[in-house]
Chain A
Amino acid sequence: MGESRNTAGAHTVNLDLRGQVCPATLLLSLREINNRRDDLQRGTARLVILTDHRDATVTVPDTASSMGYEVSVAKVEGHYVITIEGAKEAR
């Protein structure tokens, strides 16, 4: 887990969940989203989750979308990167 700041001013929270499987991956992702919901929804932060558990690429985006976040999934060198940020229209 680490944090960095991008050019737009939002800082990125990295959550490395590689090696974890469900339901832990989902629960840990959700707990992080819950904890940072204000920053995410304001657009001052975004969450980048690294996972190598394939099921999580469905469960995490599904739940995050239902919660009103914009979610994107990318596959990078043997793992997946799930980016979660507040919905643009809500900001």
Chain B
Amino acid sequence: MSDRSPRDAAKGEARLRREAAEAADRCRILSGYLRGKIDQLLVMMGSRPLKGDTIDDRTLVALDPIGTISDSFAQVLNHMHVVNSRLTSEIAEHRRTGEILREKEERFRTLAEFSSDWVFWRAPGGTLLYVSPACQQISGYTPGEFYAAPDLMGDIMHPEDRDRWANHCHTADAQGLPGPLEFRIVTKEGTVRWISHVCRPVYAEDGQFLGVRGSQTNINEKKRTEEALRESEQNVRDFLDNAIDLVQSLSPDGRILYTNRAWRETLGYRPEEISRITIYDVVAPDARDHCREVMRRVFAGEDVGRIETRFVTRDGRQVVVEGHVNCRMDRGVPVSTRSIFRDITMKRKIEEEFRKASILESIGTLAGGIAHDFNNIMTAILGNISLAKAAGDDPVTLRRRLDEAEKASLRAKTLTGQLLTFAEGGAPIRQRAPVTDLIRETALFSLLGSNVRCEFAFAGDLWPVEIDEGQIGQVISNIVMNADQAMPDGGILMVRAENVPVTAADAIPLKEGPYVRISFEDQGIGISRKNLPKIFDPFFSTGWKGKGLGLPASYSIVRRHDGYIGVVSEEGRGSTFSVYLPASRGEGRARKTEAETSPDGRGRVLVMDDEDILRDVAVDILRTIGYEAAAVRDGSEALEAYRGAMSAGRPYDVVIMDLTVPGGMGGREAVRKLLEMDPGARVIVSSGYSNDPVMADYRKHGFVDVIAKPYRMRDLGAVLQRVFEG
């Protein structure tokens, strides 16, 4: 140091002082600068500036506010960066969501706005959130007009539909589920238009009610079509209701789907009753099976043609109807019948009256003819009796006259027998008999005085038949006389009798079994094809001598013998009548061949008859042929007489009872009482009503034998002989 001069030292010190002062200045300036900047940062951060008097520079440096703040800012910036990038990605996400929403809305809008349906969304409170443009096409009002006036919908409602619309909206706005609605609006142009409306409530995901979404369609055309259809149906109904025929439609199970007015008025049902009844309540009970069958066939698609049936009215009257039924099919499935019937009750009544009148006319003709025939017969009888009386003691003449009178009486018997065949019943009194003799005798007798010759061909082993000889004799006689009349110029009548087993293959309306066939083949004029089916009809006659009763009577008799009579004929070439009679299987009682019974009867016979003449004749005949005879008037007298004879020790061997006694006890009742009194009593029934069922089935009623009135002495003798021998 010694090397430095004082002057140099002073100079150095001054320099140092100067430099120190300058450094202190710079430090002060720097500190001020730093404090300013720190204050600036602190204020910016919301804090207070530094206070110079509380923090000296040294403390300030130790505190390092700039470092602290700088570090904090670094964190702030970092955080901002994080937040910023999060926001950026959120914004991008949001933008994407927005795009999707826009796209969806675009799609919805496209759907809504191009639809012909008028779609709307009404918020709770009535504000319209959306109305599709179709509203304008349907109502004439634009969506804008609807947005502007939410009540416009109610205002354009047709006055008659306003209440329904208000109720509907009330339900929908209360979150109910009202069904579809059809109503009319008045469009902006003033026309009325039908609208079909459906709606439902809309909810947010959280269940919040967002209002009502609705859709409305113009159904004016549909309504017009429906109206036209209704009108057309009404027209058809009016037509059907004005018809006088009965129109009905039935379901396959017989329920009544439709009836017209004439149907209901004829049958007495009210419209509301129709659904509760079926066709089977309407069809007459005995026609129900037929009705079921017709229904079955109709629903099977069959054409059943014309139907005649009977309906019963609600008050029980029967109505005869005729008509047609067909079936309505829907895609091959039968759905219902459609039928039109005509009430022909009156027509049938008139026809019945005509028929009766025609029968009466026929009966008149017949009665005239019979009266004529009877008069002829009576003339013959009376004439011969007169001649017999006048014959004096000449036994040959006497005998001849009485034979003639008897013959005439037999003709009268035949005539009454024919008439009785037509009476109800007429059951034949069948007995086993050799039919060949009957055929031969009857045919020859019927051709007496005729130029027709009869030839016979009988099978040798001919089966026996059980027949009512009188009735079958009539049949033979009728056919032979018919043949005689068919051959006015004479000819040959070929009569055959043979055994024929009838089978189903023969197509003859008979039960299968053994039959005796008697055929009569003439060479006559034949019967026309037109008349052939009618020859067995009563009162049909081609205008020959006969009264047209013969063949119908024959038909009736043969049927009652369980046989069949048929005819084959060709005009101009002749006819062949064939009579089939069932062969007898049982032993049956063979009837003795008739012979004039010799008066060799021995025994006591009681006759009961209410007719004085018949009583006297019977007693005379019985005495003539050797019996001891007495007569009474009715059943009571018969019982009394029988009892008296029994107590007297001289009982009657046989009683002959008349079947019917007007006003008194007849044979039917008397035989029962008599058998109670004497179970061994033998009673023969006698009646002029040979058609009475008792006559055919006399054994069932307690009689031992039967004799039809009128009878000849030999007839009565034969019966009595049979009974005495029996």
> Which A residues are closer than 8 A to B by beta carbons?
21-24, 26-27, 30-31, 33-34, 37, 55, 58-59, 62-63, 66-68, 90
Q: Are B72 and A34 in contact (CB under 8 A)?
A: yes
- Inter-chain contacts of B46 with A (CB < 8 A): 58-59, 62-63
Q: Are B75 and A68 in contact (CB under 8 A)?
A: yes
Q: How many whole Å from B478's CB to the nearest CB in chain A?
A: 132
B208: interface (CB < 8 Å): no
Tell me which of B42, B75, B82 contacts A23 (CB under 8 A): B42
B648: interface (CB < 8 Å): no
Q: Are B72 and A67 in contact (CB under 8 A)?
A: yes
Tell me which of B68, B79, B80, B83 contacts A27 (CB under 8 A): B68
Q: Are B72 and A33 in contact (CB under 8 A)?
A: yes
- Inter-chain contacts of A66 with B (CB < 8 A): 76, 79-80
A48 to B373, CA, bound (A): 157
A22 to B69, CA, bound (A): 14
Q: Are A63 and B82 in contact (CB under 8 A)?
A: no
| Binary CB contact string for chain B from 60 to 71 against chain A (1 if under 8 A, 0 otherwise) | 000111001101
Q: Are B47 and A59 in contact (CB under 8 A)?
A: yes
Q: How many whole Å from B51's CB to the nearest CB in chain A?
A: 9
Q: Are A27 and B78 in contact (CB under 8 A)?
A: no
25 contacts between A and B (CB under 8 A): A21-B48, A23-B50, A26-B42, A26-B45, A26-B47, A27-B68, A30-B68, A30-B69, A30-B72, A31-B71, A34-B75, A55-B47, A58-B46, A59-B46, A59-B47, A62-B45, A63-B45, A63-B76, A66-B76, A66-B80, A67-B72, A67-B76, A67-B78, A67-B79, A68-B82
Name which residue of chain A comes closest to B59, CB basis: A24
Tell me which of A21, A30, A31, A68 contacts B79 (CB under 8 A): A68
Q: How many whole Å from B88's CB to the nearest CB in chain A?
A: 16
Q: How many whole Å from A12's CB to the nearest CB in chain B?
A: 20
- Inter-chain contacts of B79 with A (CB < 8 A): 66-68
A30 to B75, CA, bound (A): 11
Q: Are A27 and B63 in contact (CB under 8 A)?
A: yes
- Inter-chain contacts of B82 with A (CB < 8 A): 68, 90
A30 to B65, CA, bound (A): 9
Q: Are A22 and B48 in contact (CB under 8 A)?
A: yes
- Inter-chain contacts of A24 with B (CB < 8 A): 55, 63
Chain B residues within 8 Å of chain A by Cβ, number:
22
Q: Are A37 and B47 in contact (CB under 8 A)?
A: no
B49: interface (CB < 8 Å): yes
- Inter-chain contacts of A63 with B (CB < 8 A): 45-46, 72, 76
Of the listed residues B47, B72, B75, B82, the one surrounded by the most CB atoms of chain A closer than 10 A to its CB is B47
| Binary CB contact string for chain B from 11 to 54 against chain A (1 if under 8 A, 0 otherwise) | 00000000000000000000000000000001001111110000
A2 to B48, CA, bound (A): 27
- Inter-chain contacts of A37 with B (CB < 8 A): 75
Q: Are B71 and A30 in contact (CB under 8 A)?
A: yes
Q: Provided the pairs A37-B75, A68-B75 are in contact, do residues A23 and B49 lie with their beta carbons within 8 angstroms?
A: yes
Name which residue of chain B comes closest to A37, CB basis: B75
- Inter-chain contacts of B68 with A (CB < 8 A): 27, 30-31, 34
A60 to B187, CA, bound (A): 71
Q: Are B75 and A67 in contact (CB under 8 A)?
A: yes
Of the listed residues A33, A59, A62, A66, the one surrounded by the most CB atoms of chain B closer than 10 A to its CB is A66
A82 to B707, CA, bound (A): 150
Q: How many whole Å from B37's CB to the nearest CB in chain A?
A: 13
Q: How many whole Å from A59's CB to the nearest CB in chain B?
A: 5
Q: How many whole Å from B561's CB to the nearest CB in chain A?
A: 124
| Additional A-B contact list (5), CB under 8 Å, known A24-B63, A63-B45, A68-B79 | A27-B68, A31-B71, A33-B75, A37-B75, A67-B75
- Inter-chain contacts of A33 with B (CB < 8 A): 72, 75
Q: How many whole Å from B692's CB to the nearest CB in chain A?
A: 127
Name which residue of chain A comes closest to B55, CB basis: A24
- Inter-chain contacts of B80 with A (CB < 8 A): 66
Q: Are B47 and A23 in contact (CB under 8 A)?
A: yes
* B residues 457-479 touching A (CB-CB < 8 Å): none
Q: How many whole Å from B50's CB to the nearest CB in chain A?
A: 6
A37 to B78, CA, bound (A): 12
- Inter-chain contacts of A62 with B (CB < 8 A): 45-46
Q: Provided the pairs A27-B63, A66-B79, A68-B82 are in contact, do residues A34 and B71 lie with their beta carbons within 8 angstroms?
A: yes
- Inter-chain contacts of A23 with B (CB < 8 A): 42, 47-50, 65
Q: How many whole Å from A88's CB to the nearest CB in chain B?
A: 14
Q: Are A22 and B47 in contact (CB under 8 A)?
A: yes
Q: How many whole Å from A13's CB to the nearest CB in chain B?
A: 16
Q: How many whole Å from B78's CB to the nearest CB in chain A?
A: 7
Name which residue of chain A comes closest to B48, CB basis: A22
- Inter-chain contacts of A27 with B (CB < 8 A): 63, 65, 68-69
A31 to B50, CA, bound (A): 16
- Inter-chain contacts of B78 with A (CB < 8 A): 67-68
- Inter-chain contacts of B45 with A (CB < 8 A): 26, 59, 62-63
A62 to B76, CA, bound (A): 11
A62 to B45, CA, bound (A): 8
Q: Are A55 and B48 in contact (CB under 8 A)?
A: yes
Name which residue of chain B comes closest to A25, CB basis: B47
- Inter-chain contacts of B65 with A (CB < 8 A): 23, 27
